[in-house]
Structure 1
Amino acid sequence: MSTRTPTPTDQGWRGVAAEKHDEVSASVSALLQARTSRLLKSVLRPHKRGIWLLVALIVVQNLAALAGPLLVGLGIDKGLPPLIDDQDAGPIVTVIVALLLATAIQMVSQRSFLVLTARIGQDVVLDLRRRVFDHFQRLSQAFHEEYTSGRVISRQTSDMDAISEFLADGVQAVVVAGLSIVTIGITMLLLDVPLALVGLTSFIPLVALTVWFRRESGKAYRSSREAVARVIVQFVETFGGLRAVQAFRREPRNEEIFLGLNEEYRLTTKRSFDLIAVYMPGIKLVGNLTIGVVLLFGGYRVMDGDLQIGVLTAFLLYLRRFFDPLQDLSQFFNSFQSATAALEKLAGVLDEPLSVQEPESARPLPKARGDLRLSGVQFGYRDRVVLPHLDLHVPAGQTVALVGRTGAGKTTIARLVGRVWDPVQGSVALDGIDLHDLGDADLHRAVVTVTQESFLFTGTVADNIAFGRPGATREQVEAAAREIGAHDFISRLPQGYDTDVAKRGGRLSAGQRQLVSFARAFLADPAVLVLDEATSSLDIPSERLVQQALRTILADRTAIIIAHRLSTVEIADRVLVLEAGRVVEDGTPSELVGGGGRYATLHRQWADSLV
């Protein structure tokens, strides 16, 4: 097997490729920093006064802390000689009182800083949680089909916890460390320039060490946030689909995947601690060597009479305090990097554009009639066209059933009517008003969708029915259940309407859950009702109950029914047979059954399946 020696041309292309990669990486990094900065500014803007007060408190605290070594030096040089020579305790007592006063000021300002930091920090986290939750709710279903629930949970849990932890414990350390380094450096220069120049030479290795640590730890903590998100995703998906996992004996394979992701998370976390294990001892080594050099140089000058011993003592105390903040900073740097990586993730989510934008000046729709018109509607998913060109008019009060094979465009039409998506071209209008021009409140009050999932929230039966109209009275809830035909089975439950439905409505059967979801929709009283496979998961007895409820809920309102069970289609006023996004048949159920077309064939096949 021969090996070809790289030519200069190869090396040139590699160099260009590497350069392009670096440019792309720099651009991505700049974008991340820009949007993270925007998010940080927006959450801190309401707390301007509090932040300025924090600045004032930290300055006072820092100045009070700086006074300590200076007062110790003054006590040695100016307080001890009078006490020893003349038995005059006045100067040393003055120094001690000043030292106690500085300590008291430092304690009070530090306590005030911690209390105010905690309050602002919790307000910021609360604001972030609200923003992320609200934005996730407003993002389209298409986004949530790609962005897994585990990643959503990761954003609201581990990422928020990382930010909260840093705001609670790390802010003071980082701010105090940064301010202390600057002020102590200036103080040392004012105290003695030659000693300061010797001490500050340590800045060269410290800066190099810090730049290296910041770069590498930033990469490590981003990897750590991504790794923990993958762990959460796997955990949520495994237990969300636990029935399938157990049915197909998937436990060993899932455990293998989970252990692999856990190991990846362990390694990324270990990398972070390995970096700290180099950075912290490195700072201590540089600090101790610098103190030794300063002590040697200063001691020589004291013996030579060129420097007072009190000044040297104060300088050494300052020098120790100069390196202590760097060590504190290294301890909280992991928290800082973790919070920064988490904030980048949250900024990315909040920058995700809404696929359906609410109009700035919405047209009012006080009472919708339910007249629907789709004009020249085109829609597709990425490179696949679903609706090439659709014109459809559904008069107010008409029930239309959409029939066709999977992928024919039935659900797409339903989602366009509910404005889950917007058409690529054309328009969808309700009562002559383009859905683009309707406010969300009016649209969602006028159009309601009921799916086969019939999702019920943890809580009582009454709570789940009232979900359709927040603020509905108990009488209104029970009236809706009676109209739908759900009152009898609800009354037989252990606590009636106050029975807890359990997680996802697990205490109720599929038919009962669907009746509750119909009662919810009936209480909402929409002008347009979309039923997306609302009876497909029901057995025959449950379907009969739901069919009776359907006749009640569909009366005097516009309805779009998507169903593979043609027993549900038979109650429609009109049937549209779709194929590749086009209407190929349009008529009443009885007309189409006797017409010998596609619907007649589907009806015959369905009837044969019941035999």
Structure 2
Amino acid sequence: MTAAPETRRPTDAASDDETRLDKATSRAVRSRSLSLLGNLLRPHGKGLTWSGALVVASTAGQVAGPWLVALAIDDALPALRDGNPGMLVAIGAGYLVAAVVAGLTIGAYRRSAARIAQAVMLELRRRVFRQTQRLSLEFHESYTSGRIISRQTSDLEALRELLDGGLTGVVSSLLVMAFTFVGLTLLDWRSGLVLAAAFVPAWFLTRWFQARSRVYYREQRTASARLIVKFVETMTGMRAVQAFRRESTTEAAYEALGDEYREANLRIFGVNGRYQPGLVLIGNMTVVAALAVGGWRVLGGSMEVGVLVAALLYVKRFFFPIQQLGMFYNAFQSAAAALEKVSGLLAEEPTVVEPKQPVPLPAARGGLGLDHVRFQYGDGPVVLPDLDLTIPAGQTLALVGTTGAGKSTIAKLVTRFYDPTEGAVRLDGVDVRDLASRDLRRAVVMVTQEAYLFSGTVRENIALGRPGATQDQVEAAARAVGAHEFVMAMPEGYDTDVNKRGGRVSAGQRQLLSFARAFLADPAVLVLDEATSSLDMPGERLVQHGLQTLLADRTAIIIAHRLSTVAIADRVLVLEHGRIVEDGTPAELIAGEGRYAALHAAWRDSLV
């Protein structure tokens, strides 16, 4: 009776496919990481060559010691007994020279390696910072600030620890092992066989350690990143945490992540706790074996006492670098996991790319056109199904509609924070995808609801719109939006340090300073995305005149729920689900019976 053929469940095949995919992905990630490391080290080829020569000289000096000891015991001592001390003096002098050479060259090697390591770290920090600024808004809206901070802090710190001390140690350890084995084999090949036999279990133990520690260190880096992300998010959103009394909830979540990080570290310590003692045991057993075999041969007269002593020194010295390699591998795994994350960040490509042959636009007039624009965020729902819109130069257009109608999306497309899925956005008839970013940023400026102020003075924050602006120009921009009076009331006027995130000014004052910044930039197109939402009623009245002054003879798109801000517009579009449902002047739409008229009536009732 024949057995039925074994059948495999579909889930088994799927699991195999996932395993192959994981392995292929892992290989690709490792290849990407090694490529990045090679690219960073390539400019330092001469320095690496010099460092290599130094470490070879140092290792040769270290390994020469046992060989000289063997000569002293077997040859120099008998010569001394016969009244000839010259050989012992020569060997002693040689031992001293070897020790001095080893010490001087290893010191020089470590200094040279440290200079290379610091240069590599500086370049890597520059690349990470440059990359985070180069990537498009789409990336920053999905890749949290906490994760970016983790790349710049803990991940780069792990790489620094590896480059500062780990690489110098591992290169020296590998050469000591190789030179020790060769020196022992040349001195006595049978003792070399004993050492080679002991290397087999040490190799398998190291492979076991590598397989487990690689997984554990990835888990540790992931847990570390999650902990940092949670901390940054909590500190950033502290007002919301305290306003809703969520301190205990966030503390519990942070403690859970901290416990996950602790457990990841304990798993690493556990595997280290088995690896290090295992190496010590193998090393000690090898010394015992070498002593037993060598002692038996010495008694038989086939081995000199000095050779036995040198063999024991070589065997003992061989296993000490293996322990150093184990310690290095700890740092290496942590750094490898960090390098994978950093290389992943550097491998990201911006979704909004610079044109290869940009169309020059030295002086934009401000005419805008959206030609049958279709847009969706990633694989999400379609936000704008088919928008066809023309905005003549100098016109002030207000966008009104419910949340999710597509108003802010239009603003992001006009400023080219995103590119349309289909269709084109044009500035003065030129597709914005064909404009150099410097021309587009000079022509189109966006002021958002979040008025971000950088650490520095009031003057520096306003001058961000035009770095070379004079004091008179900065003050004129502040006066235009009604910010001059409160700035002059500050302790040092325009030289007052606003601190991080504008800590010395109110939310409305921060918004006025951001208006001044935009006014100073003097763009052809100004986009205001809920830019007056932080202003109270007196503050809004104060800025209305400044807005009208700024919007004269320039194209503007105003997105606002406050209809008092919309009232200054030449034209109003009412959007619903990404489509234009009403289009006209504010007066025309108020006189009608459409959605804008209903919104305006409700707004007037709210004022009463």
Q: What band does the TM-score fall into relative to the shorter chain?
A: over 0.9
Equivalent position to 2:463, from 458, 462, 466: 466
Tell me what 1:16 maps to.
Answer: 13
The answer (yes or no) to whether the contact 1:514–1:546 under 8 Å persists in 2 is: no
Tell me what 2:70 maps to.
Answer: 73
- Alpha-carbon distance in 2 for matches of 1:121, 1:539: 54
Say whether residues 1:529 and 2:526 are aligned partners: yes
Equivalent position to 1:152, from 139, 148, 157: 148
The answer (yes or no) to whether the contact 2:61–2:101 under 8 Å persists in 1 is: yes
State the SS of the aligned residue for 1:115: helix
Say whether residues 1:395 and 2:407 are aligned partners: no
Equivalent position to 1:549, from 546, 561, 564: 546
Equivalent position to 1:309, from 305, 314, 321: 305
Q: Deviations over 1:267-296 (max 9, x none)?
A: 100111111111011001001101111111
Q: Which stretches of structure 1, 4 residues or longer, exceed 4 Å deviation after superposition? A: 7-15
State the SS of the aligned residue for 1:201: helix
Instruction: Please report how far the alpha carbon of residue 77 of structure 1 lies from its aligned counterpart in structure 2 after TM superposition.
Output: 2.0
Tell me what 1:227 maps to.
Answer: 223
Instruction: Please report how far the alpha carbon of residue 96 of structure 1 lies from its aligned counterpart in structure 2 after TM superposition.
Output: 1.4
Say whether residues 1:181 and 2:177 are aligned partners: yes
Instruction: Please report how far the alpha carbon of residue 248 of structure 1 lies from its aligned counterpart in structure 2 after TM superposition.
Output: 1.7
Equivalent position to 2:320, from 314, 321, 324: 324
Instruction: Please report how far the alpha carbon of residue 217 of structure 1 lies from its aligned counterpart in structure 2 after TM superposition.
Output: 0.5
- Alpha-carbon distance in 1 for matches of 2:462, 2:298: 86
Say whether residues 1:168 and 2:151 are aligned partners: no
Tell me what 1:4 maps to.
Answer: none
Say whether residues 1:40 and 2:37 are aligned partners: yes
Q: Deviations over 1:516-559 (max 9, x none)?
A: 11111111111111100011222111111121221122122111
Equivalent position to 2:80, from 60, 83, 88: 83
- Alpha-carbon distance in 1 for matches of 2:199, 2:364: 72
Say whether residues 1:487 and 2:480 are aligned partners: no
Q: Deviations over 1:50-104 (max 9, x none)?
A: 1122212111111111111111112222222211112x22111111111111111
Q: Deviations over 1:330-354 (max 9, x none)?
A: 1222111111110011011111221
Equivalent position to 2:259, from 243, 246, 263: 263
Equivalent position to 1:501, from 498, 503, 507: 498
Say whether residues 1:344 and 2:345 are aligned partners: no
Cα 1:297–1:441 shift into 2, 3 Å: same
The answer (yes or no) to whether the contact 1:515–1:549 under 8 Å persists in 2 is: no
Instruction: Please report how far the alpha carbon of residue 9 of structure 1 lies from its aligned counterpart in structure 2 after TM superposition.
Output: 6.3
Instruction: Please report how far the alpha carbon of residue 491 of structure 1 lies from its aligned counterpart in structure 2 after TM superposition.
Output: 0.9
- Amino acid corresponding to residue 64 of structure 2 in structure 1: A
- Amino acid corresponding to residue 42 of structure 1 in structure 2: N
Equivalent position to 2:99, from 99, 103, 113: 103
Tell me what 1:240 maps to.
Answer: 236
Say whether residues 1:408 and 2:405 are aligned partners: yes
Which range is displaced more, 419-428 or 548-557? Answer: 548-557
The answer (yes or no) to whether the contact 1:195–1:294 under 8 Å persists in 2 is: yes
State the SS of the aligned residue for 2:352: coil
The answer (yes or no) to whether the contact 2:432–2:440 under 8 Å persists in 1 is: yes
The answer (yes or no) to whether the contact 2:481–2:542 under 8 Å persists in 1 is: no
The answer (yes or no) to whether the contact 1:419–1:435 under 8 Å persists in 2 is: yes
Say whether residues 1:540 and 2:544 are aligned partners: no
- Alpha-carbon distance in 1 for matches of 2:430, 2:179: 65
Unaligned runs of 5+ in 1: 1-6
The answer (yes or no) to whether the contact 1:511–1:546 under 8 Å persists in 2 is: no
- Alpha-carbon distance in 1 for matches of 2:37, 2:177: 25
* TM-score (ref. length: structure 1): 0.96
- Alpha-carbon distance in 2 for matches of 1:199, 1:14: 48
- Alpha-carbon distance in 2 for matches of 1:408, 1:45: 52
Instruction: Please report how far the alpha carbon of residue 431 of structure 1 lies from its aligned counterpart in structure 2 after TM superposition.
Output: 1.8
Q: Deviations over 1:2-35 (max 9, x none)?
A: xxxxx98676555434422321221121121111
Equivalent position to 2:189, from 181, 186, 193: 193
Tell me what 1:287 maps to.
Answer: 283
- Alpha-carbon distance in 1 for matches of 2:126, 2:517: 27
Cα 1:13–1:372 shift into 2, 3 Å: closer
The answer (yes or no) to whether the contact 2:181–2:195 under 8 Å persists in 1 is: no
Instruction: Please report how far the alpha carbon of residue 179 of structure 1 lies from its aligned counterpart in structure 2 after TM superposition.
Output: 2.0
Q: Deviations over 1:290-320 (max 9, x none)?
A: 1111111111112222122222222221111
Equivalent position to 1:130, from 126, 131, 141: 126
- Alpha-carbon distance in 2 for matches of 1:443, 1:114: 49
How many residues end up aligned between the 2 structures?
Answer: 604
Tell me what 2:376 maps to.
Answer: 380
- Amino acid corresponding to residue 584 of structure 1 in structure 2: V
Tell me what 1:594 maps to.
Answer: 591
Tell me what 2:210 maps to.
Answer: 214
Q: Deviations over 1:135-162 (max 9, x none)?
A: 1222222222222221111111111111
User: Aligned-residue CA RMSD in angstroms?
Assistant: 1.6
Instruction: Please report how far the alpha carbon of residue 596 of structure 1 lies from its aligned counterpart in structure 2 after TM superposition.
Output: 2.1
The answer (yes or no) to whether the contact 2:511–2:534 under 8 Å persists in 1 is: no
Say whether residues 1:516 and 2:510 are aligned partners: no
Say whether residues 1:354 and 2:346 are aligned partners: no
Instruction: Please report how far the alpha carbon of residue 498 of structure 1 lies from its aligned counterpart in structure 2 after TM superposition.
Output: 1.0
Cα 1:328–1:452 shift into 2, 3 Å: same
Say whether residues 1:92 and 2:91 are aligned partners: no
Cα 1:44–1:408 shift into 2, 3 Å: same
- Amino acid corresponding to residue 524 of structure 1 in structure 2: A
Unaligned runs of 5+ in 2: none
Cα 1:10–1:149 shift into 2, 3 Å: farther
The answer (yes or no) to whether the contact 1:518–1:553 under 8 Å persists in 2 is: no
- Amino acid corresponding to residue 154 of structure 1 in structure 2: S
Instruction: Please report how far the alpha carbon of residue 198 of structure 1 lies from its aligned counterpart in structure 2 after TM superposition.
Output: 1.5
